[in-house]
Amino acid sequence: MALSRVCWARTALWVSTVTPGSYVNRRLQLVRYGLAWGDPRSSKLHLSPKADVKSLISYVVTKTKVINGKYHRFLGRHFPRFYILYTTFMKGLQMLWADAKKARRIKTNMWKHNIKFHQLSYREMEHLRQFRRDVTKCLFLGIISIPPFANYLVFLLMYLFPRQLLIKHFWTAKQQIDFLDIYHALRKQSHPEILCYLEKIIPLISDAGLRWHVTELCTKLQRGTHPAIHDILALRECFSNHPLSMNQLHALQLKALSRAMLLTPYLPSFLLRHRLKAHTTVIHQLDKALAKLGIGQLTAQEVRSACYLRGLNSTHIAEERCRTWLGEWLQISCSLKEAELSLLLHNVFLLSTNYIGTRR
């Protein structure tokens, strides 16, 4: 008892000699480290609050951004060509991931509300259509990268053949223009074949009036004249019955039309016919949705993409001309019935081949 009283007396004397400022500073230091003096009867340990954890995470994120920025500047200075490929690839991954999330939201909404594809808005339909094509193109890369160590070969193939293996998200701005020109040149190679086939079937048309209209249309196309809307719509009956209906087209014509639609022609005739029917039906549904939305609601990039899908090389044509051409296409498409979709399929060639401003 005597010893304990002496200890308490010394402690009281030491506390009385400590200045208030040093006491406060000591207490603040302990609080900063998560400890605090409290009631002598309680010796609980107080942990850091959530605010400290958030500030730590914020600090790490900030530092990571700084280091990443320095890394980008280093690549840009010392390896400029690699830096362009690197940034394009990273941005492409981000855009592809964003497209996947948007497609998932659209599909979920369709499933919840029992909505069919043709009941979607134009932008939703176009997004799903393009995303399906992108996934199909990426599927080949996924298959060949399955074997062990094949991923190294895949990266080499992606670098050597970006047009054939990569989607547009992973193309540079210059590559997008160059590759679209190459694709359009490939589909223009099929135009003479389509025109030659139309000339050959003229004697097979029983109606004299329709035979005259087809002859006039072929003559205009050969002279480099852009056909009017009424010239094309006058052939509706011819393309809904023999010999130009979808089910009457010959194998060579199916192959030529497949190239004009940027589809592979190296398939059996029944598969080519099925793919052309499905592709043309989707475009017809897109046209109806676009007519409801209005061409004026589309951005410049959306207009160019819509024209290119329908056969026009819009990369070198003014926006106003693209809008005018797309308006002509919609007038024809929205006037056709499902049985007349063969005319819409041939319209990819008829309406685009001699349009003013297109590259020869």
CA distance 281 to 287: 10
Residue-by-residue DSSP string for 179-215: HHHHHHHHHHTTHHHHHHHHHHTGGG---HHHHHHHH
**Is pLDDT of 85 > 90?**
no
**Exposure string over 297-334, b if 16+ CB within 10 A, otherwise e:** ebeeeebbbbbbbbbbbbbebeeebbbebbebbbebbe
CA distance 259 to 55: 58
Between 43 and 90, the higher pLDDT residue: 90
pLDDT at 50: 66
Contacts of 141 (CB under 8 A, 6+ apart): 154, 158, 165
pLDDT at 168: 92
Cα 25 to Cα 47, 133, 323: the distances in Å are 20, 67, 73
pLDDT at 304: 95
pLDDT in tens, 28-49: 444 444 444 444 444 444 445 6
The pTM of this model reads: 0.78
Q: Phi/psi of residue 314, each to 5°? A: -85, 0
Asked if residues 355 and 324 have their Cβ atoms less than 8 Å apart, the reply is: no
pLDDT at 25: 47
Domains of the chain, by residue range, sit at: 65-169, 173-352
pLDDT in tens, 191-234: 999 999 999 999 998 889 999 999 999 999 999 999 999 999 99
136 half-sphere exposure, CB direction, 13 A CA radius: 8
Mean pLDDT across the chain, nearest whole number?
84
* pLDDT band, residue 159 (cuts 50/70/90): confident
Is the preceding omega at residue 243 within 30 degrees of 0, hence cis? yes
Q: What is the CA radius of gyration of the chain?
A: 34
pLDDT in tens, 70-80: 777 777 777 77
What average pLDDT does the segment 316-327 reach? Answer: 94
pLDDT at 287: 96
Q: Which two tokens stand for residue 193?
A: 């074949």
pLDDT at 251: 93
Contacts of 347 (CB under 8 A, 6+ apart): 232, 310, 311, 329, 332, 333
pLDDT at 347: 95
* Least confident piece of the model among 119-133, 235-249, 308-322, 339-353: 235-249
**Is pLDDT of 244 > 50?**
yes
